[in-house]
Chains A and B, each alone.
Chain A
Amino acid sequence: MNPMKLALGPLLYYWPRQATLDFYAQIADSPADIVYLGETVCSRRHELRPDDWLDVAALLNAAGKEVVLSSQSLIESESDLKALRRIAGQGNFRVEANDMSAVRLLTAAGRRNWIAGPTLNIFNPTTLSLMAEAGATRWIAPPEMSGTVLAELLAAGAPAIETEVLAWGRLPLAHSARCFTARHYNLQKDTCEFRCLGMKDGLALRTREGEAFLTLNGVQTQSARVHNLLADLPAVLRSAQVLRISPQGDDTVRVLELFRDAADGGLSPQDAFRRSAEWMVEAPCNGFWHGRAGVEQYVAS
């Protein structure tokens, strides 16, 4: 019996409404235990309105999934705060706080049992304890944190809290006020024509010698490579109880199944990693987990 839980992270891309709904209908039948929902990247994206997300949440909840509403990472405007207050104010689902503004609103509303998201920059046990005292019962390690640093943090007087690690997907590397997708089309963000809509895995940025380097996803910049910890699963599971899979354009369910098999021992980590080549949109990387440049694919010798 493996206590590991599989979480599907929030959808970071902007897909058409029906594609998004179809995607989550599939997820209802997938091995995901936890599903994070909502728009975390850009407040201009509106294919699904807040009520639509709640409908998806209800559907997944009925399918036995733990549903979490994720909050936006970059809060700029009063309307961003309004959306945040709505999420923090509802009591049906747990909330992932991706900014300290969300932490303040959740604590002010007396909410416990929320999730401290990966952008809160929790790097040490003292900060993690502060979040736990404020009501966080799960946290997601910053993607740039190495396995060693994570293990040291957990061994150094961390509170009782569930730990989640990003185990699959293009790395969310940065947020900006500027939209790089709009910039590519010589448009301003306020009049972006929603050009990111339907880019199922974002917009590829290559170096001048053609190497896939980054992915432009509106105001977010991701890695080009796919952060893939399948081969590192035994070490990851010594620290984490929850593994996060980040949604991708195709085959997300296949990836979830692969992780389930690997975690249950049906597949060795190496076999799972080899099999995963079929589902990766780019070359793999795992450097962050090994305390190296995130872009590297590190194999212990």
Chain B
Amino acid sequence: MVAGHFSRPPAMTPNRKIELVCPAGSLPALKTAVDHGADCVYLGFKDATNARNFTGLNFDANAMREGVRYAHDRRRKVLLALNTYPQASNWSGWTAAIDRAADMGIDAVILADPGLMAYAQKTHPQLRLHLSVQGSATSYEAINFYAERFGIQRAVLPRVLSLPQVENVIANTGVEIEVFGFGGLCVMVEGRCALSAYATGESPNCNGACSPGKHVRWEQTPQGMETRLNGILIDRFGDGERAGYPTLCKGRFDVNGETYYAIEEPTSLNTLELLPDLARAGISAIKIEGRQRSPAYVGQVTRVWREALDRVARDPDSFKVQPAWLAELDKVSEGRSHTLGAYYRPWK
């Protein structure tokens, strides 16, 4: 293999338009995303094969078939997240999911495990492969490894790189690059975080769950509302405070006698203002997080981002974030606040 020698794989859209990739945790959410202007929706099966394995969420075979038909009838694409790591005892469940995806006409599967990529490449050579954010590929050397070995055509970047670092990745790979634009913010490198496994025994890598609901306890105490994860106190809220879900990296803890959000505040990623820069950098797609969120969330966020992307495509130089967009997004943001995350260097 010759390093750095690539022909760019055929783009999903010929005119280098940035694709808007929206979450669908259910059939109604999928339809809402499509109706509000998503270019692609991504979804998962109702099991541990994907990283949003939550009760009441995701698709059985019938719903997925209908979802694919709905999207394809409107010339949108459906991406299937199979982005957890299978083990010896459940391996066939994951390969069967790839087989089903190929049968159903899914446009691409989003994978993290190299073994599964090898299986997909061998068994379904026509099936398009995307490298999941859970694959933890943060450099072009890593991304090019997956491209050379398994023919991946797109990589989703973990939320750790600054904007110039994203540009550098794009400049050195033929693989399409998808970045997160909006939604819940993983502070840790995706695919390399065992915090939830440590606290609860369930991990994003193996169970498709982070800080899962069945381990959560809300308890009103004389000190305030306490939120616990498998018995571990994640935060405590006073009367005037809005008690948030105990995602364990977004709790308040004590370090050297000081109690604060030691890892991250409950906040959402929002890169609207970076959109012209991301477009200039050459990203192929922008991803909205939130398969666990309601169709209403999906509708609101998709509408705003559709409008923003259309404006950037028309005239990137005069692009301005509209206050109405922010007002709309604020309504659905975790903690009702926004951050640029790692794209903005001082965040680090």
Q: In whole angstroms, what is the CA distance A210 to B236 when docked?
A: 13
CB of B97 within 8 Å of the partner chain: no
Q: With contacts A73-B192, A103-B145 known, is A207 near B136, CB below 8 A?
A: no
**Known contacts being A76-B138, A130-B115, A208-B254, is A221 close to B85, with CB within 8 Å?**
no
Annotate B316-348 by CB proximity to A: 1 below 8 A, 0 otherwise. Answer: 000000000000000000000000001001111
Give the residues in chain A near B168, CB-CB below 8 Å.
77-78
B254/A210 in contact, CB under 8 A? yes
The B-contacting residues of A in range 22-47, CB under 8 angstroms, are: none
Q: How far is the CB of B207 from chain A (nearest CB, A)?
A: 10
Scan B159-193; emit 1 where CB is below 8 A from any A CB, else 0.
Answer: 11110010010000000000000000001110111
Instruction: Please tell me if the beta carbons of B191 and A176 are within 8 angstroms of each other in the complex.
Output: no
The answer to whether B187 touches A81, judged by C-beta atoms less than 8 angstroms apart, is: no
Is the Cβ of A123 less than 8 Å from the Cβ of B205?
yes
Q: What distance in Å separates the Cβ of A269 from its nearest Cβ neighbour in chain B?
A: 23
CB distance from B118 to the nearest CB of A (A): 6
Centre residue among B113, B115, B116 by max chain A CB count within 10 A: B115
Min CB distance A157 to B, Å, is: 8
Is B292 on the interface with A (CB-CB < 8 A)? Answer: no
Residue A66 CB within 8 A of the other chain: no
Kindly state the separation between the CA atoms of A149 and B205 in the bound complex, as whole angstroms.
14
Query: Are A208 and B252 in contact, with the CB atoms below 8 A?
Result: yes
* Nearest CB of chain B from residue A110's CB, rounded to whole Å: 11
Q: Main SS of the interface on chain A?
A: mixed
- B247 at the A/B interface (Cβ < 8 Å)? no
Question: From residue B106, how far is it (CB to closest CB) to chain A in Å?
Answer: 21
Please state if B187 and A178 are interface contacts (CB–CB under 8 Å): yes
Task: For the complex, give the distance between the alpha carbons of A287 and B197 in Å.
Answer: 10
Could you say which residues of chain B place their CB within 8 Å of the CB of A119? 136, 192
Q: Are B348 and A177 in contact (CB under 8 A)?
A: yes
Most buried by A among B188, B192, B198, B201: B198
Whether A174 touches B200, Cβ cut-off 8 Å, given contacts A76-B160, A124-B88, is no
B1 near A108: Cβ-Cβ < 8 Å = yes
Assess whether B232 is in contact with A180, with CB atoms less than 8 Å apart: no
1/0 per residue, CB under 8 A from B, across A192-213: the answer is 0000000000011111111101
Assess whether B146 is interfacial by the CB under 8 Å rule: yes
* Interface size range on A against B: 35 or more
Q: Is the CB of A174 within 8 A of B262?
A: no
Q: Cβ of B348: which chain A residues have Cβ within 8 Å of it?
A: 177-179, 188-190
Give Cα A205–Cα B257 distance, bound, in whole angstroms. Answer: 10
Across the interface, name the chain B residue whose C-beta is closest to A227.
B198
Expressed in whole angstroms, the Cα–Cα distance for A119 and B159 within the complex equals 17
* Bound CA span A118–B113, Å: 14
Known: A99-B142, A101-B145. A205 touches B88 (CB 8 A): no
* Chain B, residue nearest A100 (CB): B142
Known: A81-B141, A123-B87, A180-B263. A209 touches B233 (CB 8 A): yes
A123 touches B145 (CB 8 A): no
Minimum distance in angstroms from A200 CB to a CB of chain B: 15
Say yes or no for A17: interface residue by CB 8 A criterion.
no
B267 lies within 8 A of chain A by Cβ? no
State whether A121 touches B198 (Cβ < 8 A): no
In the complex, which of the residues A75, A173, A291 contacts B139, with contact meaning CB atoms closer than 8 Å? Answer: A75
- 14 A–B pairs (Cβ distance < 8 Å), ordered by A: A74-B160, A77-B165, A80-B139, A100-B142, A100-B146, A119-B192, A124-B113, A130-B118, A142-B194, A144-B206, A173-B195, A190-B346, A208-B233, A288-B197
**Inter-chain pairs besides A101-B141, A206-B255, A213-B253, 14 sampled, C-beta below 8 Å:** A74-B138, A76-B139, A123-B85, A124-B115, A127-B113, A174-B189, A174-B193, A175-B192, A177-B159, A180-B263, A184-B256, A184-B258, A207-B234, A214-B195
* CB-CB nearest 8 A-B residue pairs: A126-B115, A101-B141, A177-B160, A104-B145, A127-B115, A294-B198, A156-B88, A123-B85
Q: Which residues of A contact B (CB under 8 A)?
A: 73-78, 80-81, 84, 99-101, 103-105, 107-108, 119, 121, 123-127, 129-131, 142-144, 149, 152-153, 155-156, 171, 173-180, 183-184, 188-190, 203-211, 213-214, 216, 221, 223, 287-288, 291-295
